[in-house]
Structure 1
């Protein structure tokens, strides 16, 4: 289909992009890698008067260390995330999960910041960011502010970003000492997961001391499986992990669509949480 008509701007600095978005108000949309916005435009599910292409802003790309954090530019592509040595060394869960996103063509164009700002609860990376306890740095007319990822996702395709704000950086704590695994069920390689599970596990003396479990496609936003995380503490083997994983769907409100009904998604959340944690611990 042919997109509706719109004006186009291509700023070259963050400050210019923020001014452009402020002038557009509710009628502006940010174009990052285009893997989410362009399909919406073609299907006429979005009708912006102005599309602001931030692809020429160099400060939005790249990965750097900042103490015990990694600072990842919002326009860093999935391909760059997967292959960056800092990400692989200090945030392996993010690298491994990103490697499963769609296909190579999408990974060369799609961006980390674009995926998070789009806020599709069925996408892989919002759930991963939740499990990692990431922080998101946004720029607006009043300057920059940091939003904890747990406060960023508001509802289906809605975030805490104001219309005149731009996501500029994703800050990920280094996960040395944690083991990890990303598990998802999707019937077609390029499709969104019916359910995805991002697991981080810390162990000491043969016991799980802390677990984080992020869930994709189990509600109108990505979720943390808090009941399973609490029950997982102290687990000392596969049987204990399996018991804790039974709580993975508590507090979730999965949708019904052509791919699955809510009860099937709850079943998948339990099964995939068990698999992900067992793989992370090496007990699987």
Structure 2
């Protein structure tokens, strides 16, 4: 991959909302500090761009610096990286963000989750193996080893990242406040959003709305589980009842046993005659013996 760093007078970099929303934006105080630094010292670090085939340059890293440079007419350098596709861009962005200092635990969790989501896809999945000839390990296991956390933590991180992205769609400011620590919410409330049946249409107004919707989702999930358990129990009962019906009628009263065996005899006779079923004839002989035993017992 050839990386080119160059000065530019190009003022019209392409801003992809999909990529811009992928990273945690700066809060007001952080943005102001960055702006003061750039005004005093200039834009020291190059902006990373993705050169497309049509000649456009898509901004990948440096959205805040680009905004400040545009506002104050400050020159900047760019670094061109020829990514293969948008998934490769996103993975680079996550790795770049995780390489920076002072990330909070929630921010680390968010980026671990994003990395897991990016790598678990069938194409371009995680290819590391434990040793030559060994079976390929799972994405969550590989990332767990990389970040020194458990495999289950990585999977929960993915739910957290998915939940944060759901919040992002309707309330990007709340997402920023949660990940910056300005607003405190239960992490489990964010994670459960990804489990909702209507996850694609959920809208979150504020922290209280998040808590209430998370509560409703949990209740819905619990109801689904209870419904599935009842269905399984009913299926077991039905199977047990059928087994008893098909079994020898030893638990019935003598009169009822005679009626049941008589009905089974008639059924066997019909199968033997109509379908020429030799097995039915054998069953018929056994049923007659059973009937005699019941009558003369």
TM-score by length of 2: 0.26
- Give 1 or 2: higher strand fraction: 1
Larger radius of gyration: 2
TM-score by length of 1: 0.27
Report which structure shows greater RCO (CA 8 Å, sep ≥6): 1
- Give 1 or 2: higher helix fraction: 2
